[in-house]
Amino acid sequence: MKTILLVDDEEIMLAFFKRIIERSGVEVITATTAAEGMSLFEKRRPDGVFLDIRLPDGNGIEMFKQMKGIFSRAKICFLSASQEEMKEAALRNSGAIGYLSKPIFSENILEMVEEMKRDDL
């Protein structure tokens, strides 16, 4: 079974994402802080990550770099309410599979989940 890590400090966002993603037959693990997210990432090595750029204890862009250094095959999609943050993430991290801007619609989440589930050879 594929595993996706959700890292966002908004509990409502985590619940929304989790409900949608679990319907697609994927295990979902969640974290509300950068520290918790990195710990889960290191232990579980998820197939995909939805990663908020702005967290109370860290920066998603820096986390992205650390995650790719630990497990380069993880497919990571950035989340943000700020278009400027999204532009910065896009410029600095061409290895992300996508960028979703809040508010986020379920169709967009499911498109990213399908990409994360794909096995690249």
In angstroms, the Cα distances linking 98 to 54, 95, 116 are 16, 9, 10
Cis link prior to 46 (omega < 30° from 0)? no
Contact 102, 82 (CB under 8 A): no
List the domain range (segments joined by +) for residue 82: 3-117
Residues 66-108 have pLDDT tens digits of 999 999 999 999 898 877 766 666 656 668 888 888 888 999 9
**φ/ψ of residue 60, rounded to 5:** -60, -30
DSSP class of residue 33? S
pLDDT above 90: residue 27: yes
* Per-residue pLDDT band at 20 (split at 50, 70, 90): very high
pLDDT above 60: residue 29: yes
Q: What is the CATH number of the domain that holds 70?
A: 3.40.50.2300
The pLDDT value recorded for residue 86 is: 66
The pLDDT value recorded for residue 32 is: 97
Name the domain count of the chain: 1
**Stretch 5-25: mean pLDDT, rounded?**
95
Look at the pTM and tell me if it is higher than 0.85. Answer: yes
In angstroms, the CA 60 to CA 99 distance is 12
